[in-house]
Amino acid sequence: MSKTPDSGKAEDDEPSTVEQYLVKDPERFALNMARMIEQAGKAASAWAEPREKGDVRDHVAEPVVDMVKTFSKLSEYWLSDPQRALEAQTRLFSGYMTVWANAIQRTSNAAEATEDAVKPERGDKRFLDPEWGRNAFFDFLKQAYLVTSRWAADLVEHADGLDEHTRHKAGFYVKQVSNAISPSNFILTNPELFRETVASNGENLVRGMKMLAEDIAAGKGDLKLRQADYSPFEIGRNIATTPGKVVGRSDVAEIIQYDPATETVLKRPLLICPPWINKFYILDLNPQKSFIRWAIEQGHTVFVISWINPDERHGAKGWEAYIREGLQYGLDTVEKATGERDVNAIGYCVGGTLLAAALALMAREGDDRIKSATFFTTQVDFTHAGDLKVFVDEEQVAAVEKSMSEKGYLDGTKMATAFNMLRSGDLIWPYVVNNYMRGKDPLPFDLLYWNADSTRMGAANHSFYLRNCYLENNLSRGMMELAGHTVSLGDITIPIYNLASKEDHIAPALSVFLGSKYFGGKVEYVMAGSGHIAGVVNPPASNKYQYWTGDTPTGDFGQWVAKATDHPGSWWPHWQSWIEAKDNTRVPARKPGKHMKTLGDAPGTYVKVRV
């Protein structure tokens, strides 16, 4: 059956049949409904038991209160002027009248095509089933939903009286509510789900409730939404398999040195500082996608910091500890293992923000071991920091700090949920529908296995990050205090390779671009295609996406993009050429353990600690 993706209407006029929505075996259906209720009871028990024991304390009211406050400000703007309120109501009423007129026309003359009041956005996969277009009931639901959600989004966009932060939050919350109430998310209002439920006599709901109970139990009282079949994957067996050794271990980090793949290597070793919000093996998912393996094949002696998954013991360790016991400990380890002081460094996401802060501190302290720095989708200025800023204001940060003070850390599920909410239409609701309503197991996917392998946030570390970066923007303002110094990015005069991703929703390309001006040395700004992960993990062999290079990253971002040169494929070879242009001296390959005792095989033990 062919269909148009924009409207969900079938290209032919095959009529919708009532029979496909009628229960064929009422007795079996009733039995399955009883089984579903039984499984729902188990899900409720899995949710309630840890709360009764005091192991889980709900903080649901805090974000809900913030959402209510935000919507109250939005309502105040529209209701404060009767004329403005009337115009808004008229727009909504007009949309509903168009939907109603379409429904009447379709009912009275099914053969006559009607134009939808509003069409789904390009790429919206929720309404692809032909019944959304040819069945008058489901077509009405779809159009009424789209009219309402588009109208609500317009209310935010045209609320000129709101401050920018409130507008940003209102837009984000409207999007979350709109995604949640979509008719595609419910059995009786989604034709595909309705048909599947009837065809299986409700067995899909029995399986779905069973999975829901399992996922709540796995989250120890909170829903741990499964996005893939995780069972085929095991760290060190078919994930993070690049051979190497753990050559150092501190309270917050293991240092991994990888085996060489070439007879000679670049004289300068490469130290990678990944984010601690996720685990480092995003850069080593499998041999085909591994940036680490590729860098080794280009002649780098690669060292990686594998951060601890913190618990109550690490609650007081802030950024200074992560710099001293992570980054600088890594540099010490590199020097012991290779005899080299001069190092190339890479920082990814918040790992890059830490690297930038560390470089500013090291400049004040006279530590010049890092000779070039590469930042992957890293923000140092947080003025335009994307949707994560929705979660950051004084009240919300104080609430997070209060929550962390109870255990010394923020549960990994909290951060995972926040990141999933940034793309709830892709990372939450499709899996809710697939898992708990269709009762289908998700497919194996290594990237989503990594995404689900969440980490805790140490209290002092996370509080410092939220306040100094997102809330107060102290790093770019030259007001961040570390180890008794007020540090400045202007003191960083080494060459910088600053990589952004065009569709990044966590570190927007504009934000990365604007951050470039704060460094004291020359910055090579490169913008990759795709987003926060796929834009970075884009091996040349895949021949996917593209990247842009251009002039010095100053002035207007739009003008830089307009003048930039578009290159097909991966940016990795371009980065390699940039590195080699700084120092291409080669020496015999170095094997882990030659100059120091090793502590085990890569990928180490810290990465295997799960929440």
Active site residues: 349
Specify the amino acid at residue 136.
A
Q: What share of the chain is helix, strand, coil (3-state, %, to 5)?
A: 50, 10, 40
Tokens of 73: 């400000």
Residues near 408 by beta carbon (within 8 Å), at least 6 away in sequence: 310, 311, 312, 313, 314, 315, 316, 458, 459
CA distance 474 to 477: 5
Nearest Cα to 154, choosing from 132, 178, 127?
178
Work out whether the CA dihedral 119, 125, 131, 134 comes out positive or negative: positive
Residue 60: exposed, middle, or buried by beta-carbon count in 10 A (0-12, 13-18, 19+)?
exposed
Q: Would residue 539 be called left, alpha or beta, if left means φ above 0 and alpha means ψ between -120 and 50 degrees?
A: beta
- Note the helical H segments in 158-276: 164-180, 191-199, 203-218
Q: Is 43 exposed, middle or buried (0-12, 13-18, 19+ CB in 10 A)?
A: buried
**DSSP letters of 129-154?**
STHHHHSHHHHHHHHHHHHHHHHHHH
On the CB side of 532, CA atoms within 13 Å amount to 21
> Cα separation of 462 and 402, whole Å?
12
Partners of 134 in the β-ladder:
none
Please name the residues in contact with 190: beta carbons below 8 A apart, sequence gap of 6 or more.
129, 138, 183, 184, 433
Q: What angle do CA 372, 259, 570 make, to 5 degrees?
A: 55
* Surface-to-core class of residue 271, CB atoms within 10 Å of its CB (0-12 exposed, 13-18 middle, 19+ buried): buried
DSSP string across 259-327: PP-SSEEESS-EEEE--SSS-GGGG-SSTTT-HHHHHHHTT--EEEEEE----GGGTT--HHHHIIIII
Helix (H, G, I), strand (E, B) or coil at 563: helix
Reference 479, options 76, 466, 159, 469; nearest CA is 469
Distance CA 86, CA 88 (A): 5
User: Which of 231, 203, 611, 221 is CA-nearest to residue 442?
Assistant: 231
Selection from 598, 575, 386 nearest residue 496 by Cα: 575
- 603-606 long-range contacts (CB < 8 A, ≥24 apart) are 603/235, 603/236, 603/240, 603/244, 603/256, 603/280, 603/281, 603/284, 603/306, 604/246, 604/254, 604/256, 604/306, 605/246, 605/254, 606/249, 606/253, 606/254, 606/306, 606/307, 606/308, 606/309
